[in-house]
Amino acid sequence: MTSASQFSSSAHPLDEALVLQSTSTVGQYEGATHPGYWNMVGPFGGITAATLLQAVMQHPDRLGEPLSLTVNYAGALAAGPFTVQAVPVRTNRSTQHWTLSILQADAEGVPVVTTTATAVTAVRRETWSVGDVPMPVVPPPSEHKALVVPGGAVEWLNRYEMRPIAGFIPRTWDGSGDHSLTQLWMRDVPERPLDFCALTALADVFFPRVWLRRARQVPAGTVSITVYFHASAAQLQETGTGYLLGQARGQEFRNGFFDQTAQLWNEAGTMLATSHQIVYYKE
């Protein structure tokens, strides 16, 4: 695993994890995994998605702001250095379409693709707007206790403050689950002003819905996730270091795969992002 000493102690862990160095090839960057976002067998999927978006945000030819990001986890990303490639394949008047990938050297030193992605950025214009999914009426963050991360838990959980409201980790793994809806308040630890990359990672903090629906801690992992960005950079700036209300639920669990949707609002009730992912699970 990458040593923490390689990163500046004065920077936020997320900013350390998102460091990408430009190479002589436009749109190609060198990065490294961060120990602070380590999951069971690799990096937390949200930080991988955020890293891919960071490559888009750093690209000198970027048009507009993020509209959507789809990340496909093709293989395990090991601890250590990796290469990110970001290519704007088509630019229109108001939208720009991207292909992205992460490559990492295998045991023989041959670069192998671990992750593929597509993204769309866009120039938004003020027009008629309405929200059809209002934020649920829930008590404020101060009325919910922050989750205490137990010793020995995966490290990335320490990078987020989570205040569960409903439907969190089952108390007993006895197969008695009857729903998959979770609601919680959340934000970065330490506090950090919200931006598109941070929002991307937050869209993936939810544990696999199959755990709640079945009340069994079966092996599970995201195969593909799409994040849709509804907020502008200005709205994210207004959100600042405040909490986000996250809500997630599964829709269909069948033959080893299930999908789950999520919505994220700020404390003012503005929907910032939605996401949809397909997840593998093992019986």
pLDDT tens for 72-130 read 999 989 999 999 999 999 999 999 999 999 999 998 999 999 999 999 999 999 999 99
Task: Please state the rounded mean pLDDT for residues 175-201.
Answer: 97
Q: Which residue has the tokens 């999927």?
A: 45
pLDDT at 112 (0 to 100): 97
Provide the mean pLDDT of the chain.
95
- pLDDT of 131 reads 93
Report whether pLDDT(161) > 70: yes
Query: So what's the pLDDT on residue 152?
Result: 85
Average pLDDT over residues 242-264: 98
Instruction: Compute how many other C-beta atoms are within 10 angstroms of the C-beta atom of residue 188.
Output: 19
Does the structure show a pLDDT above 70 at 229? yes
pTM of the model: 0.95
Q: Calculate the dihedral angle through the C-alpha atoms of 226, 232, 237, 242, rounding to the nearest 10 degrees.
A: -50
Helix (H), strand (E) at residue 119: strand 111-122
Beta strands 160-166 and 28-32: pairing type?
Answer: unpaired
38 vs 211: CA distance, rounded Å: 20
pLDDT at 220: 96
All structural domains of the chain, each given as residue ranges with its CATH number in brackets, are 4-122 (2.40.160.210), 144-281 (2.40.160.210)
Name which residue leads in pLDDT, 246 or 151. 246
Mean pLDDT to the nearest integer, 19-34? 97
Q: Residue 28: which residues within 8 A CB-CB, separation 6 or more?
A: 22, 83, 84, 85, 86
- What pLDDT band is residue 1 in, cutting at 50, 70 and 90? very low
Once rounded to an integer, what is the mean pLDDT over residues 46-75? 98
pLDDT in tens, 204-216: 999 999 999 999 9
Give SS3 for 199.
helix
Predicted confidence at residue 171, as pLDDT, reads 87
